[in-house]
Amino acid sequence: MAALRVAVLLLLVLCLRGAAAAVPLVIWHGMGDSCCNPMSMGYIKKMVEDKIPGIYVLSLKIGNNMIQDMQNSFFMNVNDQVRDVCGQLAADPRLQGGYNAMGFSQGGQFLRAVAQRCPSPPMLSLISIGGQHQGSVYGFPRCPGESSHICDWIRKTLDLGAYTQAVQEHLVQAEYWHNPLKEEEYRKNSVFLADINQERGVNETYKKNLMALKKFVMVKFLNDTMVDPPISEWFGFYKSGQAKETIPLKETSLYTEDHLGLQEMDKAGKLVFLGVAGDHLHVTEEWFYSTILPFLQ
């Protein structure tokens, strides 16, 4: 009887280990969205949970409720948001062994900032779906809710003074606004993107932390009408001084001078570049299951 009890206990332990084997996932929504919208992040969360039994999925919420979370995606300083998220992750006991991260649109570059600035708990892999890693929405072609007053106001504000201190401190989209016609102004005054992209010097800690990722997956939307230029989703951008011709990551100084370690990561097979037909964040369940899910298992 004692031997039977021991065998049952061992079997139970093995089952519990199996149930906990799935690497946790942290997701961060994009502009104008929220953590738990059943039509967006809530739906993604359920898709992952249905396909990976036992996985813990944390959909990040910045604020006390969904309304605040949505508003903060427009108006809360990105550095403060990243600091808040780092605190959430550090305090979550289910993440201490490491986690995968998946960011949508601006959530992609925000999670990259988390990887660079907050290595504990460790981010294992980062999946950026439409993230603007060289900056974007240059010209702000559209934003969620095309007729919304908030979108019109943001456009006017960016046109008037994207790099002024007041706008940089309080308007999220200005903090990754990269104007190729004003590169020096961007490098000097950008409070977020210029920092995480090492535009003002190399922070070796940022570089070391990013290089610790096992995989850095970047998804570019081939028919994107929101991100300008779409190649920013693969770390490319406009040639400096004009807004017509673009260059890929490997021709940028960020890569050739390896400010972030991307060249070394590329040679090690850690960078994954995926293209998907469709407009910004428009994907099918089939594509998500066949292309993205394998990186989470």
pLDDT at 140: 58
Tokens read off for 127: 């999946």
Phi, psi of 11 (to 5 degrees): -65, -40
Question: Which residues are catalytic, by number?
Answer: 105, 224, 280
Residue 17 confidence (pLDDT) above 50: no
* Cα 161 to Cα 135: distance, rounded to the nearest angstrom: 16
pLDDT at 154: 76
What are the distances in angstroms from CA 278 to CA 24, 104, 130, 225, 233?
A: 28, 15, 11, 9, 14
Alpha helices in 62-192 (DSSP H): 66-75, 78-91, 106-117, 149-161, 165-170, 183-189
Confidence of residue 11 (pLDDT cuts 50, 70, 90): very low
How many C-beta neighbours within 10 Å does residue 126 have? 24
pLDDT tens, 81-121? 999 999 999 999 999 999 999 999 999 999 999 999 999 99
pLDDT at 267: 98
Residue 9 confidence (pLDDT) above 80: no
For the chain, list the domains and their CATH numbers: 22-295 (3.40.50.1820)
With pLDDT > 90 as the criterion, what percentage of the chain qualifies?
A: 78
Q: Report the chain's C-alpha Rg in angstroms.
A: 20
pLDDT tens, 57-70? 999 999 999 999 99
Widest CA span of the chain, in angstroms?
80
* Cα 287 to Cα 265: distance, rounded to the nearest angstrom: 25
pLDDT at 153: 75
Instruction: Identify the helix (H) or strand (E) that includes residue 221.
Output: strand 215-221
Please, which residues have CB within 8 angstroms of residue 109's CB and are 6 or more apart in sequence?
A: 103, 128, 131, 132, 133, 176, 193, 196
pLDDT at 85: 98
Confidence of residue 195 (pLDDT cuts 50, 70, 90): very high
Confidence of residue 256 (pLDDT cuts 50, 70, 90): very high
pLDDT tens, 259-278? 999 999 999 999 999 999 99
pLDDT tens, 130-158? 999 999 866 555 665 544 567 677 777 77
pLDDT at 83: 98
Q: Between the CA atoms of 196, 199, 204 and 208, what dihedral angle is there, to the nearest 10 degrees? A: 50
How many C-beta neighbours within 10 Å does residue 94 have? 11
